[in-house]
Structure 1
């Protein structure tokens, strides 16, 4: 899905932090010097670039400004896989916080619905120590079961009632090593996997109007931390693999 020109994707760039220098020449600040509007469609900051390493494309994400690399295509019923690795650089407003990123799926509607950056969507959270958490962005919802600590549990009958659901366990690879991310999506159900293990599952995904949410674009975040992605593939499915479906409790 990744070529050197990122021909299958478009970029929406959000509001730059006040610390960001070398803004586009046509970017308009407020009279008091604050940044309050998104840079918008396009990537004038060069946030997303592709390099070739050992004959394969690697997506380089600078993290300097919040942004989303958005697939032009809409997907449904698929298995998404990719490898993810952190870089070293961090930026405001997350300079002294955990490195953060995310894979957004079932993205729909206008750019900038969430924080003037990302679309309404479901998020596979990619944050140090939190790979596989679920976030509902800009009005999406679903049913996901949790234990008494708020962590996903396929054996519980308790439904989570907040926008974030914590994955069952942390399986992120050590810093500087690749972590494998799998997302299975089948109609209004999805499964999050980290390094080959199911860490969260949900069903009855809905958009902000309460209608079933069963398809959408993909967005790969830039969120204050340098990182890399490669081996990004999406394959159609008609059912979940039996072992994975069993582990997910769906």
Structure 2
């Protein structure tokens, strides 16, 4: 083929791509606003105000006698109410990979058990959830946690073998905080750093009773936690540990924790992505 033809074909291809870009994936709504279709529930053992269990028998899978997970109207819109009375998770039936998750949450007024005693509201969005129900402390599947807790939204916890590498700075004793300019450090249950890393900055959370927007970006083995438009943390090399052997953890279900505090989730949607927003990786 003559060089002139090659040039013309290349030019036409570039022009076509410019005027006809690859279609962006549409948002998939995963809470229909009517019921919990598309979700499963799991509740662990009942505990007292000190976190002690009366027995080691979980309430179980898709068994919810106390109505921990319900659909309600909150501020004029449908929302999922998680009472927090019994610890466990609301779990998507579907698995996700290479996606952008967006949802809104706000805290309720009710606290239970040890959370009431400590006066701390807590929950979490657990992603790349795989394996056995209740693998973490009897309540949650193996996963990576986007922490949802007063003053700590955006923190990371590795659940039941979930692990990641995060650039951090160490301060305030033995606490590790995400920093884009920090030293890349592995977080995993059993190593010196443990499985918890704190977000950068003071956070961007709104007061109790106001709605917050969480964005989670996952592509390949990297994930980004964003709270009300502000990057809290970037995690690299998401993986899972089994007896010291690490393998990638890059897809799975999404769990919404019940963890001793009433809260509401709404406008839960997922969009497929072909890469991570470059600007977020620099914040």
Aligned to 1:166: 198
SS at match of 1:228: strand
Aligned to 2:14: none
- Higher share of residues assigned helix: 2
Q: Provide the TM-score with structure 2 as the length reference.
A: 0.79
Work out whether residues 47 and 54 of structure 2, in 8 Å CA contact, stay in contact via their aligned partners in 1.
Answer: no
Q: What does residue range 58-77 of structure 1 map to in structure 2 within 5 Å?
A: 58-77=79-98
1:55 Cα shift?
Answer: 6.5
- Structure 2 Cα separation of the partners of residues 222 and 35 of structure 1: 19
The yes-or-no answer on 1:216 pairing with 2:252 is: yes
Unmatched runs of 5 consecutive residues or more in structure 2: 1-29, 187-192
Output the CA distance in 1 between the equivalents of 2:115 and 2:76: 33
Q: Tell me the residue number matched to 1:196.
A: 229
Gaps of 5+ in 1: 20-32
Measured in 2, the distance between the counterparts of 1:185 and 1:81 equals 12
Match of 2:43 among 4, 9, 13: 13
Measure how far apart 1:241 and its partner are: 1.6
Does the alignment pair 1:227 with 2:272? no
In the superposition, the TM-score normalised over structure 1's length comes to 0.89
| Residues 97-112 of structure 1 aligned to structure 2 (within 5 Å) | 97=118, 98-112=120-134
Tell whether the 8 Å contact from 1:83 to 1:179 is kept in structure 2 after alignment.
yes
Determine if the alignment matches structure 1 residue 47 to structure 2 residue 47. no
Residues 72, 217 of structure 1: 8 Å contact kept: yes
CA distance in 1, matches of 2:144, 2:168: 17
CA distance in structure 1 between the aligned counterparts of 2:114 and 2:164, rounded to whole angstroms = 29
Distance in 2 (CA, whole Å) between partners of 1:13 and 1:158 is: 36
Which structure would you say has the larger Rg?
2
Secondary structure of 1:95's counterpart equals helix
| Residue number among 129, 134, 137 corresponding to 2:156 in the alignment | 134
Q: How many residues align?
A: 234
RMSD: 1.5
Residues 98-129 of structure 1, C-alpha deviation per residue, up to 9 Å, x if partnerless?
11100000000010101111000000001110
- Which stretches of structure 1, 4 residues or longer, exceed 3 Å deviation after superposition? 52-56
Residue-by-residue CA offset, 1:35-94 (whole Å, 9 max, x unaligned): 221111022221111123576421111010001000000100000111110000100021
Choose the corresponding residue for 1:37, options 53, 57, 81.
Answer: 57
Whole-angstrom CA distance in 2 between matches of 1:96 and 1:18 = 10
Post-superposition offset of 1:243: 1.4
SS at match of 2:116: coil
